[in-house]
Chain A
C-alpha cells in the first residue's frame, strides 16, 4: 500500500511564532489519520500547508507524488479541504453549490453530473437541496460541505473538525461514511478533531501535536498500550501537559 501523503519536516514560522516545527508523518492509501492537539498547537497551520493555502518556510509535503512547494496546482487536483466552521454561499441553493464546486474540479459535464449525483446521495438532504443555503441549519450545511468534500473522489480528503455542529445521530452517520469511503474506495483522510471518542472510533492512526511539534504518532490501541492508558484522552493529557513521550 503506497503513501498518499508524505509530510517531511514541514515547518512554518510566522513573524513571532513557530507554528509548525519539522512535522513529519505519512498517510497510506485508504488510511484515516487524525491530527489532534490543543488550540494553537499547529494543527490548522499543518493542514493549511498540506492544502497549499500556506507555503511552508521549510520542509515539504508530497501528495500523490506531487510536492506542495513545487506543484501546488497538481496537489489541489488530488485533495479536497473542509475547514472548521466553514460556511457556504447563502444565496445559492444546495444543488447549485454542489454543481459550482464540481465545476472547479472538472470541465467535463458528465463528470460534474456524476459528482453532484454522488453528493446528493451522500448528504441525504433530498428536496432541501433546492432551497437556498441561507435557510439551512448548521448541521445541514455541514452535511452539504462534507458531501462536497468527497463527491470528486479525491485521493486525500482533509477534514477539519468534520462533525462539528452535527447532532449525535448525524455525527455517527458521518463517521460511518468516512470509514466506508476509506475501506471501499480507498480514499485517504486527514482529520483534525477535539473529540477523542470520535478519533478513537474513526481513525486508523493518530498524531498528537503540541506547540508546533508532532509529539507521537501511532494506532490508538498501540498508543493506549504504550502509555498504559485507559483511553486516548489520557494519552493526550500526558503527552500535551506532561510532555511524556514513549
Chain B
C-alpha cells in the first residue's frame, strides 16, 4: 500500500504534461516523416510503373514517328509491366527553361532535326533531355520520365541499327543481356539463391530499430532517475521521505520501477513511431522488389534458408538482455544521482552513461565488433551496453557463446552496481557523499570547515 503510494507519486512526477506533449510530438514527427517518405516513394515507384513521356519530335521523319509508335506499343506487350503515356509538344529554340514553363511541364525529351540522318549515316545521333531540378532533396527530384524515354529511344535506335546490320531479334537480345547472373549467398554451411545485397538491406533495416530503441531507453532512463534522485536530494524531500515509516528499499524501488515504466512507454512510442517511419520507407520498395525479383527466392524465405531468421526464443533472449540493460542503467543512475547535489551537475553526470551508450552504438552501426583488433575488442566488450547492441547479430549468425557471455557479463555488472547503489542508499553515504562540478573551489575555500558542509 505504502509502496503503491510511493510509486504513484513517482509516476505522477515523471508523467507530466511536458512528457506527454513530447511523446505526442515525437510520434507526430515520425508519422509525418513516414508519410512524406511514403508519398515520395509512392510517387517515385508510380513514375517507374506509369511512365509519362513528354516528347518533342523536331525531326518529323518516318523513323522518328516509328520510334514514338514503338514506345506507345509497349503498352500492348504482355511481358512489359510499364504503362507508357506519351505527350507530344511543338517546341523551338534552345531556351529550355522557357519551353518547360510555356508547356507547364518539368521534363521533356527533344528529338532534334537531323536525328534520322545521323542514324542513316552511321553516326551517333544526339538526343536532348531536359529536367527541372526542384530542390536539393533527392526524393523530390526522382522523375524517371526522361530516363525511360531516353532508354526506350536508345532501344529503338539500337534494334534498328541491329536490323540494318542483319542481326536477328534474338542476337540483339543476347548482346543486350549477354550474361545471366545467378546470385547465391552463403552463411556458414547454408546457402540461398539470393543476392547478399538484398539480405544486407533487409537485415540493416531490421537491426536499425533495436539500437535506436536501446539508445533512447538508456538515455531516458538514466536522465529520469538521476533527476529524480538529485532533485529529492537538493530539495531535501529525500530527508523528509526517509524519515517517514517506509523502508529505504521501498523508496529506491519505487523510483527505479517508475523510471523503468516511463522509459518503456517512451521506448514503445519510439518503436511504434520508428516502425511507421521505416515501413513507410520500405514497404512499397519491398513490394516493387518482389515484382521485379521473380525467379529467385524472397528475402524472408532466404533468411530462413540461411538460418539467420530470428525465432521466438531469440526474441525472448533479446528481451532478457534489454531488461538487464535497463537494470544496469537504473543502478548506475542511482549511484550517479546520489553524487549530485546541484541541478546543473545532472547533465554532467549523464555524460559517462551517454559515452558508454554512444561508443558501442556507433561501432555496431559501422563495423563488426568481432573483427576489431583484440585490445579494442576487449575495451568495447567491457562496456556493458555493447552486448545489447550486438545481441541480434550474435543470435542471427550463431554466435550464441558470445551472446550468453554478454548476458552473464551484464548480470554480474548489474549485481555489482546495485550492490554499490544500495550501499549508498542504505547507509549515511546518501547524505554525506557528493561530487559537485564547478563547486570545488567553494569547498576548498571552506578548508577545514568541512564539518559545516557535512552538517
Interface residues of A (CB under 8 A from B): 14, 16-17, 19, 39-45, 48, 51-55, 73, 76-77, 79-89, 91-92, 96, 100-101, 103-105, 107, 145, 158
Contact = CB atoms under 8 A, between A and B. Distances in A.
B12 interface: yes
If over half of B's interface residues share one DSSP class (helix, strand or loop), that class is named, otherwise mixed; here it is helix
Interface in B210-251: 234-237, 239-247
Contacts of A80: 243-244
Contacts of B451: 14, 17, 19, 40, 42
Interface of B: 1-2, 5-6, 8-9, 12-13, 16, 234-237, 239-247, 427-428, 431-432, 449-452, 454-455
Contacts of A48: 239, 431
9 contacts: A14-B451, A17-B454, A55-B427, A83-B240, A86-B237, A87-B234, A88-B237, A91-B16, A104-B244
B215 to A, nearest CB: 27
B245 A45 contact: no
Contacts of A89: 9, 13, 237
Given A53-B431, A91-B12, A105-B244, A81 B239 contact: yes
Task: Name which of B13, B428, B449, B455 has the most chain A CB atoms within 10 A of its CB.
Answer: B455
B197 to A, nearest CB: 52
A100 B5 contact: yes
Contacts of B241: 104
Given A79-B243, A104-B244, A87 B235 contact: yes
B92 to A, nearest CB: 72
B127 to A, nearest CB: 69
Contact of A105 (B236, B245, B452, B454): B245
Contacts of B243: 51-53, 76, 79-81, 158
A100 B234 CA distance: 20
A63 to B, nearest CB: 11
A105 B6 CA distance: 12
A54 B431 contact: yes
A92 B450 CA distance: 35
A147 B241 CA distance: 16
A77 B451 CA distance: 30
A51 to B, nearest CB: 4
Contacts of A17: 450-451, 454
Q: Closest 7 interchain pairs by CB?
A: A40-B452, A87-B235, A81-B243, A103-B5, A17-B451, A86-B236, A104-B244
